């Protein structure tokens, strides 16, 4: 559940250029990418945003949206600065070029999305199987409802496109996937100790399979544009997770 803080949204409107009532601002933010919007709101509540930093953040958000829709190589810097309401001069003031902008999107946007969506629900989990099932079902449902499933997973998209081409992208993306697997392996190990996961499983192996399954499900949704197939695959993962119970 997201708590809407109207004074903060009004401040966000004033600081980074969104217009309209607080409800309109929040609704507009949701249409881009739900978790990115949450991150933006959190960032706005925790720090005083100076004008140069606000410009940088608008560029990052516009770049994320552009790369998510069109891929990194297909993404247009002209369109990014247009959406951000700034200039190429401002973009190159904050980033040396498109490559550095792409790296920043991975580090500062995609990484926090991963953390909030997939890692935080398992951090300190008392029942990792239940929490994993809840996450898969929730985000499959949300992404189908929003239509984002046809664009796939932002992290997986960049992994497929850029990891074979650019070592900077590959290392950043691999670091995120490694943290994801580590989080799940640790949660499953704690689940064994708590009696929620059966003994004898190998947490690292299960974690690797579950993370790969997420990549496959969102990739399947993107390529097939078939809602039912995506749900079917998600339920298959949930059935597998049930088999890990004591």
Q: Looking at residue 18, what is its pLDDT?
A: 47
Q: Are residues 152 and 64 in the same domain?
A: no
Query: What pLDDT is stored for residue 38 in this prediction?
Result: 46
Out of 66, 95, 124, a domain closes at: 95
100: in domain: no
**Which range of residues forms the domain containing residue 145?**
110-242
Among 64, 95, 126, identify where a domain stops: 95
Q: What is the pLDDT of residue 115?
A: 94
Give the per-residue pLDDT at 59: 94
Is the CB of residue 182 less than 8 Å from the CB of residue 207?
Answer: yes
**Domain match, 124 and 236 both:** yes
- Are 175 and 120 in a shared domain? yes
Q: How far apart are CA 86 and CA 181, in angstroms?
A: 38
Whether 83 is covered by a domain: the verdict is yes
In a shared domain, residues 124 and 182: yes
Q: Which one, of 166, 153, 148, 165, lies nearest residue 212 by Cα?
A: 153
Token reading at 123: 């951090």
Count CB-CB contacts under 10 A for residue 165.
10
Do both 140 and 89 map to the same domain? no
In this structure, the answer to whether residues 68 and 147 fall within a common structural domain is no
Query: In terms of domains, do 126 and 205 share one?
Result: yes
Q: Please check whether residue 209 lies inside any domain of the structure.
A: yes
Q: 150 with 57, same domain?
A: no
Start-to-end C-alpha separation, the chain? 31
Q: What is each CA distance from 204 to 177, 178, 229, 242, in whole angstroms?
A: 13, 11, 27, 17
Domain boundary among 46, 63, 95: 95
Indicate whether 233 belongs to any domain: yes
Are residues 225 and 123 part of one domain?
yes
Angle (nearest 5°) at CA 33 between 28 and 36: 100
User: Are 170 and 179 within 8 A, CB to CB?
Assistant: no
Q: Are 95 and 75 in contact (CB under 8 A)?
A: no
The count of other CB atoms within 10 Å of the CB of residue 112 is 18
Residues 73, 158 share a domain: no
Say whether both 89 and 185 belong to one domain: no
Integer Cα distance of 205 and 106 in angstroms: 26
Does residue 36 lie within any of the structural domains? Answer: yes
Q: What are phi and psi of 82, to 5 degrees?
A: -65, -45
- CA angle, 73 as apex, 55 and 230 as ends, to 5°? 95
Are residues 230 and 146 located together in one domain of the fold? yes
- CATH assignment at residue 188: 1.10.357.10
Mean pLDDT by 10 residues, the chain (246 residues): 40 45 45 47 47 88 95 95 93 94 96 94 92 95 93 93 96 97 96 94 96 94 94 96 95
Cβ–Cβ < 8 Å for 110, 40: no
């Amino acid at each position: 559940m997201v708590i809407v803080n109207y004074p903060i949204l009004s401040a966000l409107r004033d600081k980074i250029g969104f217009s309209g009532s607080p409800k309109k601002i929040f609704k507009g933010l949701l249409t881009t990418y739900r978790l990115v919007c949450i991150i933006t709101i959190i960032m706005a509540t925790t720090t005083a945003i100076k004008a140069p930093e606000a410009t940088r953040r608008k560029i990052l958000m516009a770049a994320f949206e552009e790369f998510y829709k069109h891929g990194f190589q297909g993404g247009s810097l002209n369109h990014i600065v247009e959406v951000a309401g700034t200039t190429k001069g401002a973009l190159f003031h904050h980033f040396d070029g498109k490559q550095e902008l792409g790296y920043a999107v991975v580090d500062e946007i995609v990484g926090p999305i991963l953390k909030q969506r997939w890692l935080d629900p398992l951090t300190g989990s008392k029942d990792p199987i239940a929490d994993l099932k809840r996450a898969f079902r929730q985000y499959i449902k949300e992404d189908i409802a929003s239509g984002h499933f046809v664009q796939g997973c932002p992290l997986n998209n960049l992994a497929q496109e850029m990891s074979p081409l650019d070592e900077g992208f590959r290392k950043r993306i691999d670091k995120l996937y490694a943290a994801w697997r580590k989080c799940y392996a640790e949660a499953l190990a704690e689940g064994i100790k708590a009696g929620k996961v059966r003994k004898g499983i190998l947490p690292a192996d299960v974690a690797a399979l579950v993370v790969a399954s997420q990549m496959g499900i969102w990739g399947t949704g993107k390529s097939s544009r078939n809602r039912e197939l995506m749900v079917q695959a998600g339920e298959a993962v949930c059935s597998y997770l049930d088999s890990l119970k004591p």
